Amino acid sequence: DAMVIQNPRYQVTQFGKPVTLSCSQTLNHNVMYWYQQKSSQAPKLLFHYYDKDFNNEADTPDNFQSRRPNTSFCFLDIRSPGLGDAAMYLCATSTLIYNEQFFGPGTRLTVL
Amino acid sequence: GDSVTQMEGPVTLSEEAFLTINCTYTATGYPSLFWYVQYPGEGLQLLLKATKADDKGSNKGFEATYRKETTSFHLEKGSVQVSDSAVYFCALRNTGTASKLTFGTGTRLQVTL
Lowest mean pLDDT across A75-79, B1-5, B45-49, B94-98 = B94-98
Contact B51 A99 (CB under 8 A): yes
| Residue-wise pLDDT tens digits, B54-111 | 999 999 999 999 999 999 999 999 999 999 999 999 999 887 655 678 899 999 999 9
Q: How far apart are CA B37 and CA A99, in angstroms?
A: 17
Burial of A65 (0-12, 13-18, 19+ CB in 10 A): middle
Q: Is the dihedral of CA B7, B79, B76, B98 positive or negative?
A: positive
pLDDT of residue B60: 95
Contact A4, A92 (CB under 8 A): yes
3-state secondary structure at position B84: helix
Strand partners, B37: B45, B88
The contacts of residue A66 (CB under 8 Å, 6+ apart) are A34, A46, A47, A49, A54, A74, A75, A76, A77
Q: Which of A25, A30, A91, A101 has the most B C-beta neighbours within 10 Å, making it the best mutation to test the interface with B? A: A101
pLDDT cut 90: percent of chain A above it? 80
For residue A96, is pLDDT > 80? no
SS in 3 state form for A89-103? EEEEEECCCCCCCEE
pLDDT value of residue B18? 97
Which of B2, B23, B44 is best to mutate for the A interface (most A CBs within 10 A)?
A: B44
Cβ pair B47, B38 in contact under 8 A: no
Strand ranges of the sheet holding A19-25, from the earlier edge strand across to the other edge: A4-7, A19-25, A73-78, A64-67
pLDDT value at A13 more than 80 = yes
- Give yes or no for residue B8 having a pLDDT over 70: yes
Q: What is the mean pLDDT of chain A?
A: 92
**B27 — contact with chain A (CB < 8 Å)?**
no
